[in-house]
Structure 1
Amino acid sequence: MRLPRVKPEHRPHKYGQDKIRIGGAIYGIAAEITDPDGFAWAALNIMDGTRTQREIAGHLHDRFPGLSVDAAQRIVDLLVGSGYVEDAAATPPGELSATEQERYSRNMAFFRRVDLRPRPHGWDAQIRLKRARVLVLGLGGTGSHAAWALAACGVGTLHCVDRDVVELSNLTRQSLYRESDIGRPKASVAVARLAEVNSSAEITGEVRQIVRAEELAELVRGFDALALCADEPAGPDGIRVWANRACRAAKTPWAVGGYSGPLVSVAVFDPAGPCYECLTETVEASLDAPPPVLGDTGVIATSAGVSGHLTAHAVISLVTGVPELPGGYVTGVNLVAPDQHVYTRHPPDPRCPACGPPSPGPP
């Protein structure tokens, strides 16, 4: 890093005699530094993008004569590697045009705040989005919001699949459709509308019903992530299990979102973590009642919107690695009981038919 600068969102604050907080506690990404000698505080306050790492270390050595040059350099290196510092000398990559930099400037500010991996520049996550190929399966309440968010955020290639046509009852919650679209295929309308949202993205679609697991396995190939927003075929051996096994085989991360009345949730999976089948098996075994059925008819615009945006956010995280979260978990909210936050994650089930160890062959 040529010219370290503390990210503006992470301006450090000193409290007490020897404590520094950096990162903003309310965002869940803060760090607390114990700094009895004031070395870190002094270094952070001159990391303003005008000095090299070596110059900052030299300043510390001059200010604190008892601090060796090597020790001062180690302090600077630790702070630079913390993720709260950026390179003021970094220039925007040529892969993003000036128009794209303007369009995605708020995205960049978001990723810069939450990404604690040292990067060569602040546009790394946006470039990953631009290169990504994402499949959105299902364009109803969850899927229409998810597809809009993914297109708006800058996913480079988005393929939208749905079997249905727009109906009057869809208009209460499905964000891509208008009264004039009633009777038209959702996939066709979605492609046209999303192209108006982001003309620089490659957005395609097809009117298609997935009726066999093999079809889904074929469809998933070549994509970097799947946003599963369809709920049919339902049941214990339905489309979610098909998606789990297809993505597991293709090593494709995926997210599935849905709602049951006011309960909104998303499940997120990557090829290395617990899969959908072992997670649901563990969760269902621990419940005293049947689990909620996601995708029922009780839904309003807000529950569909939250569901879709949680799903899109999960896909964005899977594609960019920001934030870097382990897959194999469920999270969500209850819109009529805000204190009931949903979160569960379990280790892989060794008996799981999808991700457990392979069965031994015949002797």
Structure 2
Amino acid sequence: MKAITYTQPGDSSVLSLVERPLPEPGPGEVRVRITVSGVNPTDWKARESAGRPLPFDEITPNQDGAGIVDAVGPGVENLSAGQRVWVYLAAHQRPTGTAAEYSILPAERAVPLADGASFEVGASLGVPAMTAHRALTVHEDGPSRLAPGALAGRTVLVQGGAGAVGHAAIQLAVWAGATVIATVSSDEKEKLARAAGAHHVLQYPSASLADGIREIAPDGVEHIVEVAIADNAALDVEVVANHGTIGYYADNGGDTFTAPVRVSFAKNVRWQGLLLYTVGERALAAAAEDVAAAVADGALPVGEAHGLPLTWFDLADTAAAHDAVAQGATGKVLIRVAEGE
């Protein structure tokens, strides 16, 4: 089989297209014939991993993807050969990511892909959609699971609504019945956030941003999905509701942040860090189940018309795909591994 691998950390030049024997799934594992591989920021960051030894002698990158179950290992009962699936965390603590014609992964990380949902939808889920799910389900008085109506009567602020996580957060929150406010940095990105379903879109930087949010939500927003906590902590505290949650999942803008102390504790604010790789199996299973339900309802479409432009690369050009993500490509970067079926 063809696979992209690297044997040392570094920039994208360490990635090579190689031929490898077809792997066999072990107990509790499945082999997925990958059709589309999705690229996330953590994929290129893990590859660079400067100053740290690689966990395996050879690694195939990329956590997310979609394809068809090709073989199942002993003990796997919930999946069978021929099923269409989307996969998540394929390369987490494993050497076999989705930048290959076949990937071996634990059966629980392969989720049936709803009839009618494309492989590009499946490959765009994983890290972004499951991170968004977590951000929307950590409020102390809010739902721990998402479904239609679960967020009814609540207001969600998505900071950075044109990014992959922001896009998924808008779609999931709308599916669950919330009123969604998104912030973006340009007219072009405003169009994307509106296409994703945001009810209100405000642009930054703006001295009147907090006023604009409070005009929409006078009592504050219950949930904030935050991509740049270092830049936005003070504003978040200003517009968050009493007992509101600020779920932050990235360090855009800096690796430290400060926040007003008195107003934070006066509002009983919960600062909730989010990292899918350490969130635990229970949260992952809940997110995978709810995201799959949203896909079945048609709530997570992709493409520019739905607010998430797709940029495509061939498997041989995986290095360029990684570079595109590292350089901040808008939307989702996907790798065409095989022709869709």
Q: Please give the TM-score of this superposition, normalised by the length of structure 1.
A: 0.27
Query: Which structure carries more relative contact order (alpha carbon 8 Å, separation 6+)?
Result: 2
More strand by share: 2
The structure that has the greater radius of gyration is 1
Q: Please give the TM-score of this superposition, normalised by the length of structure 2.
A: 0.29
